[in-house]
Structure 1
Amino acid sequence: MVLSRRDAVLVFLVFAFTYFFAALVRAVTATLAPTLTAEFELHARDLGLLGGGYFIGFAATQLPLGRWLDAHGPRNVLVGFLGVAAVGCLAFSLASDFTYLLAARVLCGVGLGACLMAPLTGFRRWLSPQMQLRANSWMLMTGSLGMVASTLPVQWLVPRVGWRPVFWVLAALLVVCMVLIALRVPRWSERGAAPAQGSYREVWRHPYFRRMAPVGFFSYGGMLAMQTLWIGPWLVRVAGHEPLESASGLFVINVSMLVAFWSWGLFNPRLAASGWNTDRLITWGMPLSFVAMGAIITAGPAAGAGAWAFFCVTSTFLSLAQPAVGMAFAPALAGRALSAYNLVIFAGVFAVQWGVGLLIDGFERLGLSEVSRFRAALAVFLACSIGAWVFFVRRAPDNPRQ
């Protein structure tokens, strides 16, 4: 059942408010990387595992999450998950060693794993197809705003109050989000939802899902891995920036992402009406991100926030894949389709975050300088992304619902 304009706006704002804080928690490790590295004496592989720990928890819940969303609806599922996230933030603030820190980060990932899938599942039934594309892009814009808040504001707060109280406040704000969702998001049964049908086997075997999976894993997951972790260490350890300057760079990057997602939401319905559907946009847009990454690797220490902003913005073509996958399936299977694709993406985030850390440490044992280690690790990532794009282009289009 399609919501009225007023109800749709209200529900979107509640979900967006929640996703803002989810994105802030997800991205804050990039800003806190120098502080956590010094306090807990972390190696690159530890930092990569810590950043990826969020996505371990996130990925572990995606398959049951899809079933729960289809059966019980976004309202009930998201309230329960946010309670886990609030506990995770409190546990992170109390961590005394790396193991405790990692376990709390995993718990945060578990709790925040529904913050995008819940609204997208609801939008699949509550909004028209054109508005689904717009709402998806503007949800991601809200996430970018959360990432903006994780940069300079956090960098300003930490010297004054410490990093631990930041997580106390985040836990309290997540509780506020739980209350708003319980009060404002409609119950599933109140909108005449159809019963959940189908299985994950149907999702995994779908040719369009398989076509989209590699680019989601390597390219979109890789972009998120860079944005939420490795851009910060690059700016400090390769480009030679101070922590505050690095946070300023991350601020610029995330503002650029915010503008990009706002633009997608504004123009994507018009592009689709003109024949520029998701497949065509990804085919011609993704190579721009390869050019950007190649330039970063070539420039080395000269590649600052501007180069990374260009890479992230050109990678946003892949953000269109998620709603396209959802619309390739019937509404009764949308929660599982979206959650399965989200699992692919965030498995990629974890693999790239930890993999880059392992490569950096591995190249150190081969005697490479720090700058060369980062360059070589990113070159491996770029090769994987190009391979995924080639697979996507060579597979025939097969999304009739698009």
Structure 2
Amino acid sequence: MTGAPAGLRRALAIFGAFAVVYFFSALLRAVTATLAPVFSAELGLAAGQLGLLAGAYFLGFALMQLPLGSALDRWGPRRVLLAFLAVAVLGCAAFAAAGTLPQLLLARLLIGVGVSACLMAPLTCFRHHFSAGAQLRANSWMLMTGSLGMLASTVPVQWLLPVLGWRGLFVAVAICLAVAMAGVALLVPRDAPAAQAAGGAGQAGGYRQVFSHPAFLRVAPLGFFAYGGLIALQSLWIGPWLTQVGGRTPAQAAQGLFLVNLAMLAAFFCWGLVMPRLIRAGWAGERLIARVWPVGVLLLGGIVWLGPQAGAVAWALWCVCTSVVSLSQPAVAQVFPAALAGRALSAFNLVIFSGVFVLQWGIGLGIDALRAAGWGVVPAYQAAFAGFAVACLLSFLWLHACRRRQADAPAWQAAR
């Protein structure tokens, strides 16, 4: 968008409308980590059931990504986001009224479906209206807003629980989402007919182009294991680690999660500040990921080794170092023409959130299986998290090997 004051005000209004919606989307994503002790005590959920309940959100999220991408390119971010948010409001109300695990799972699935456009819609809009540097900055600051939502899902939720209860909390979020929908309707512009016509062209072939592209294939394992794992742990398993491995109380775990999410908020704010300058200096997203990833893997290995001694500070450091993988998403979108932006973003998001679902549930199943085999709580958690660390290492080695084989490939030159 232009740098004129009117253009800047319009850009800020668009960003603000999207940011409010994404705030509540991230809160809904992460709140199960804070509510895990409540669900375990009130509903008697085992680790696998808890992972399934949290993962149902991401299953609904992942199932919608391919149709969502086509819809965004065909009908535009504003109209699609409003339709999906109506489903999210219904899902929150259903979750508040649910009395059994199947009902909770269905409601959580609806919530995931409803908020599945809360990041893809703004990123698609930014791809159409913002420059490359501004896209990366806006992407990082959207993720910062998400971190703020995840921050609100920790200690503030603990404060509200005695007043509202977990059911009242979901009713309140449903009301807030309905208000946020009004902001989107008022502030986000309708896409121009030309953009919609371009987006509607080549619907059938669009995803073939995306999934077969070397840039997409190169980062797909990274998106599934590293990016998906970051979200899986931040939105669920760090909380149980702090309580069951580290021996913290639920209140202390909520404080630890607050620290983790505060660190992530700061990290995304800093990425937003520095990325336009780094791009001008020749540091594209993939190049930064390749340089920073060893630190995150080593930190994760150290956390597994330390076990009960690894607290919130260690997890915050790991999350900050791993946050570099977030740069892969807007870089993928920039590889493709604007008419394919929604499908490119949603295809990569499908990979990410499929990873979140598999890892959230898989880690829980692994812990339950090891416990059933006679392992103690701490060794079971350590073994399950060690398996995740190995998967992350392999995904980064795949990226490194592909970079060596395709050093002169044009896929990421557009982002450099």
TM-score normalised by the shorter chain: which range applies? over 0.9
> Would you say 1:401 and 2:408 are equivalent positions?
no
> Would you say 1:301 and 2:308 are equivalent positions?
yes
| TM-score calculated relative to the size of structure 1 | 0.98
The aligned counterpart of 1:116 is 119
The aligned counterpart of 1:40 is 43
* Matching residue's letter, 1:150: S
Which moved further from structure 2: 281-290 or 110-119? 281-290
SS in 2 for 1:276: coil
> Would you say 1:51 and 2:54 are equivalent positions?
yes
> Would you say 1:163 and 2:166 are equivalent positions?
yes
Q: 1:177-192 counterparts in 2 under 5 A?
A: 177-189=180-192
Residue from 269, 285, 288 that aligns with 1:281: 288
Q: Tell me, in whole angstroms, the C-alpha distance in 2 between the residues paired with 1:354 and 1:163.
A: 22
Residue from 17, 27, 31 that aligns with 1:28: 31
Residue from 137, 144, 149 that aligns with 1:146: 149
* Matching residue's letter, 2:112: G
The aligned counterpart of 1:292 is 299
SS in 1 for 2:198: coil
- 1:160 Cα deviation after fit: 2.5
Q: Tell me, in whole angstroms, the C-alpha distance in 2 between the residues paired with 1:273 and 1:246.
A: 41
Q: Is the 8 A contact 1:2 1:126 kept in 2?
A: no
Q: Tell me, in whole angstroms, the C-alpha distance in 2 between the residues paired with 1:159 and 1:211.
A: 47
* Matching residue's letter, 1:131: A
The aligned counterpart of 1:350 is 357
The aligned counterpart of 1:94 is 97
- 1:177 Cα deviation after fit: 1.1
The aligned counterpart of 2:178 is 175
Q: Tell me, in whole angstroms, the C-alpha distance in 2 between the residues paired with 1:193 and 1:105.
A: 32
- 1:353 Cα deviation after fit: 0.3
SS in 2 for 1:212: helix
Q: Tell me, in whole angstroms, the C-alpha distance in 2 between the residues paired with 1:277 and 1:74.
A: 26
In structure 2, list runs of 5 or more residues that go unmatched: none
- 1:190 Cα deviation after fit: 6.3
Q: Is the 8 A contact 1:2 1:128 kept in 2?
A: no
Query: Percent same amino acid at aligned positions?
Result: 52
| TM-score calculated relative to the size of structure 2 | 0.95
Q: How many pairs were matched up? A: 402
Residue from 68, 71, 74 that aligns with 2:74: 71
* Matching residue's letter, 2:40: T
The aligned counterpart of 1:131 is 134
- CA offsets 1:90-114 (integer angstroms, 9 cap, x no match): 1111110111111100000000000
* Matching residue's letter, 1:367: G
SS in 2 for 1:162: helix
> Would you say 1:7 and 2:10 are equivalent positions?
yes
Q: Tell me, in whole angstroms, the C-alpha distance in 2 between the residues paired with 1:363 and 1:272.
A: 46
- CA offsets 1:116-175 (integer angstroms, 9 cap, x no match): 000000000100111000000000000000000000010111122211100011000100
Q: Tell me, in whole angstroms, the C-alpha distance in 1 between the residues paired with 2:139 and 2:365.
A: 33
Residue from 253, 259, 263 that aligns with 1:246: 253
- CA offsets 1:345-371 (integer angstroms, 9 cap, x no match): 000000110010011011112221100
Residue from 362, 367, 371 that aligns with 1:364: 371
Q: Is the 8 A contact 1:45 1:357 kept in 2?
A: yes
Q: 1:175-254 counterparts in 2 under 5 A?
A: 175-189=178-192, 195-196=198-199, 197-198=201-202, 199-254=206-261
Runs (4+) of structure 1 exceeding 4 A deviation are: 190-194
* Matching residue's letter, 1:212: V
Q: Tell me, in whole angstroms, the C-alpha distance in 1 between the residues paired with 2:120 and 2:154.
A: 25
* Matching residue's letter, 1:301: P
CA RMSD across the alignment: 1.2
